[in-house]
Each structure stands twice: as C-alpha cells, then as structure tokens.
Amino acid sequence: MIIALSGLAGSGKDPEPNASDKKRFWEGVVKRGPSDCWLWARSTRNGYGRIHLGGRAGKSVSCHRLSFRLAHGYWPKKMVLHSTQCVSKLCCNPIHLREGTHTENMEDRDHAGATARGDRLAKKLSSKIVRDIRKQYASGAASHRQLGKKYGVSHTMIGFIVRGDWW
C-alpha cells in the first residue's frame, strides 16, 4: 500500500531526535533483509507507527518520517511516500521512503493496485447494497447522511459510491 504521512512535512515543528529517541526507534523496528520491509512493532495510530521524541511527554511523530530524517539528515519537505514495492503501513525501511506530492502518492497507489474498489472498498457493503444505495439516492429517497447512517459508513463514502468514484 502506498501511504502518505500525516502532519505538515517540513514545517519545522518536528523536534530533532536525541540519542535516546534514536535508540528507542531502532529497538522498535524489526529489520529483515536490506531491501525488505522493516516493520515498526510498537505504538500505532490509524495503522501507522508513532513514537514520542523526548519521551512520553514529547511530540508524537510518524515513524516513517523519523526513519527518513535519520537516513537523510533532514525532515522531509514534502509528504513522504512508500515506493510501489512496499505494501505495509508499518514499514520503516529508509530505501522504501521518498519525498513526493499527494498526486504522486495517489498515482503510485493506483499503479500498485492498492486503490480500494468493488468489494475491497468496505467490508460492510456488498455489491447488492451498493446498488440499493445508488437507487435510493437517485430516487431522492435519502441523502448521503441518511444512507451513511443506515449502512454504517460515512456520508463521504456514500458520495464516493453514488458518483462511482470508488465502486
């Protein structure tokens, strides 16, 4: 999966890691071969590795961004992306990371086949339910919000479905 990291890249808000931060970071990474994914094995948020620089009271940063910082000597100025060879949100291998834009990230994601479509989009929805959602919306019987509440997904997801963006 191609992933974009949260936060403002290159904003100057990320503190510099000290020796203890670096040690804790590498202790939390399960390294394999040089070109394999190196997986973060500690704290996560939304499926992405997180670590506090400066200890528990310090700032929480993405492990991907910290890996990039340690490998390249600077915080990324743009969004950090995984290359198309990588499929794990927890990967911290610096050779799998590169700077890029949101558009490049979406193109890489699509190229790698990681775009959710059809039954992969949402486990809660079947193709039959999607057809029903489209019929109800087209007839004016329900709004995006009403349909989202009825089927247990966000109104944004309903919008993607009725426009055919993701299904």
Distance separating alpha carbons of residues 158 and 148, to the nearest angstrom: 6
Among 31-45, 70-84, 147-161, the least confident range: 70-84
3-state helix, strand, coil in the chain (%, to 5): 40, 15, 45
Distance separating alpha carbons of residues 138 and 6, to the nearest angstrom: 35
pLDDT of residue 124: 66
Among 35-44, 59-68, 82-91, 151-160, the least confident range: 82-91
Query: pLDDT tens for residues 6-53?
Result: 333 444 577 899 999 999 999 999 998 998 889 899 888 877 899 999
Exposed / middle / buried, residue 4 (Cβ in 10 Å: 0-12, 13-18, 19+): buried
The arithmetic mean of pLDDT across residues 60-66, rounded, is 92
Look up residue 13 and give its two tokens. 């808000």
Distance separating alpha carbons of residues 17 and 95, to the nearest angstrom: 20
